[in-house]
């Protein structure tokens, strides 16, 4: 609700909330600029637009490379997970070689997790001139 204010006044509620509190006016030092005299404060309106987003593989030339990693998930007698990892490399064969060497050095370690990392990009049809992405571009 917008109530016109007199120079140097602002609204203040007295009493407890929900108890039919009265509105009273009190003086404000206008030199401090606490209120604009006679102006109504209006809220800013926002415009929201909802669009459909899609996540797809990033096939751009400057995209991050696909990387590979193996992690040992074998447990000892106490239930502790080994957790040893290969280096994250672009060459999947070298990560796999690490897993085979680790298994040879630790015959009880036979469980591994393979964690490839692929670059993805979030996109929306507006990025393609307001039209759906052309066929074969994905």
Inside any domain, residue 9? yes
CA–CA gap between residue 118 and residue 70 (Å, rounded):
15
Q: Residue 21's Cα: distance from chain center in Å?
A: 43
Burial label for 135, CB within 10 Å (0-12, 13-18, 19+), is exposed
pLDDT tens sequence across 75-111:
988 999 999 999 999 999 999 999 999 999 999 999 9
Domain count, the chain: 2
Domain hosting 100: range is 65-118
Is the pTM for the entire model greater than 0.95? no
Inside any domain, residue 32? yes
């Amino acid at each position: 609700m917008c109530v016109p204010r007199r120079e140097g006044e602002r609204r203040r509620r007295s009493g407890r909330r929900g108890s039919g509190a009265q509105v009273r006016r009190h003086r404000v030092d206008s030199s401090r600029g606490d209120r604009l005299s006679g102006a109504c404060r209006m809220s800013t309106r926002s415009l929201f637009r909802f669009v459909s987003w899609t996540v797809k593989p990033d096939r751009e030339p400057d995209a991050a490379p696909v990387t590979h990693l193996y992690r040992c998930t074998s447990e000892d007698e106490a239930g502790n997970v080994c957790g040893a990892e290969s280096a994250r490399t672009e060459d999947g064969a070298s990560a796999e070689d690490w897993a085979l060497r680790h298994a040879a050095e630790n015959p009880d370690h036979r469980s591994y997790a393979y964690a490839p990392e692929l670059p993805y990009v979030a996109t929306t049809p507006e990025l393609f001139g307001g039209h759906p992405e052309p066929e074969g571009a994905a």
